[in-house]
Amino acid sequence: MKRTLGRSGIEVSAVGMGCWAIGGPWTLDGGTAGWSQVDDAESTRAIHAALELGANLFDTAANYGAGHSERILGAALQGRRDQVVIATKFGYDVDEAAREIRHYDAVTEESDVASRLRADLEKSLRRLGTDYVDVYLLHVWGLNIERALEARTILEDLVAEGKVRTYGWSTDRTDAIEAFSTGPGAGVLEQQLNIFDCDAELPRAGREDEPRQPQPRAAGHGHAHRQADADHYVPGRRRSRPRPVVRRHPGRPPQPGLARQPGRDPRDRDERGSNARPGRPGLDLGSKPNTVPIPGFRTVVQVEENVRAIEFGPLTPAQMAEIDRILGR
């Protein structure tokens, strides 16, 4: 089962691999942000298992393990670069030696990401052992739109230079999505799709031909507070009229801990991996034909469970409706 990644024309497997968990521990502005210690050898075996099972989309970020996820992924994919699609993310100061991530500026929303973008990309390319990335995603969820558009100008140049095939924004903000995705090189966007906590507008964001009013939300997968087991990609798109911002949990999240609401900063954008269960990607596969779930993994077994969920096929409309009924939606 294959899907086209947004309007980029890039063909990918219907289920991708989220590489947050294999980065291991790291900190964001002094707060714990990563998982416990990981087994790099097992991570490598898991990546190879994903390839053997037909998965070709790997989603990582400079933040994950403060570069460690990118390094493990790059090493595991040596000699196989032409077989895979790599997505990574940017927007923060990465200290690999200390395993620390810091905001570039005192006010995150006003962070000057654009002036550091080229240097960020070069560092990611070195860690990944490649000379281009297929998908490059802005990772600063709450960045001011004007600042984001400055970064978009650089991204368009990188697309023209062949260092980036397509780009997007990893955010759930509809105002940000509306503004950013009008760039000609913007082919995708990455959003949280969680069975307990997702905005009704978000699963629809990639479809120009669908009604703009809220519809019954598609069910995703993961847990509301601890686990957001899969983000998903939908196409970037062009619209002439903005929609209002949709925020179920406005503002910054509370301090790190089990009660954090997922999806509001890099610590939470895709908490996934140790909890992966078979069949979960089927929820995303059933939600929209233009979404690509990217559940996480730490072991070969979890990769097998995630990829082989495709064998069960998408959930039916009746099953999706029953999920909404059970959850009172």
Q: Which of 64, 92, 167, 233 is catalytic?
A: 64
| Residues contacting 148, CB < 8 A, separation 6+ | 113, 138, 140, 169, 176, 179, 180
**131-147 residue pLDDT tens:** 999 999 999 999 999 99
Mean pLDDT calculated for residue range 57-68: 97
User: How confident is the model at residue 6, as a pLDDT?
Assistant: 82
Give the CATH number, domain containing residue 273: 3.20.20.100
Question: What does residue 190 show for φ and ψ, rounded to 5 degrees?
Answer: -115, 130
User: How confident is the model at residue 313, as a pLDDT?
Assistant: 75
Higher pLDDT, residue 259 or 64: 64
Please state the pTM of the whole predicted model.
0.78
User: In which domain, by residue range, is 79 found?
Assistant: 2-326
64 catalytic? Reply is yes
pLDDT at residue 214 above 60?
A: no
User: How confident is the model at residue 7, as a pLDDT?
Assistant: 85
Question: What does residue 140 show for φ and ψ, rounded to 5 degrees?
Answer: -90, 100
- Interatomic CA distance for residues 92 and 66, integer angstroms: 10
**90-117 residue pLDDT tens:** 999 999 999 999 999 999 999 999 999 9
pLDDT at residue 278 above 50?
A: no
Higher pLDDT, residue 270 or 41: 41
**174-195 residue pLDDT tens:** 899 999 999 999 999 898 776 6
- Number of folded domains that form the chain: 1
Average pLDDT, the chain: 77
**254-275 residue pLDDT tens:** 333 222 333 333 333 333 333 3
Confidence of residue 316 (pLDDT cuts 50, 70, 90): confident
- Interatomic CA distance for residues 114 and 147, integer angstroms: 7
User: How confident is the model at residue 126, as a pLDDT?
Assistant: 98
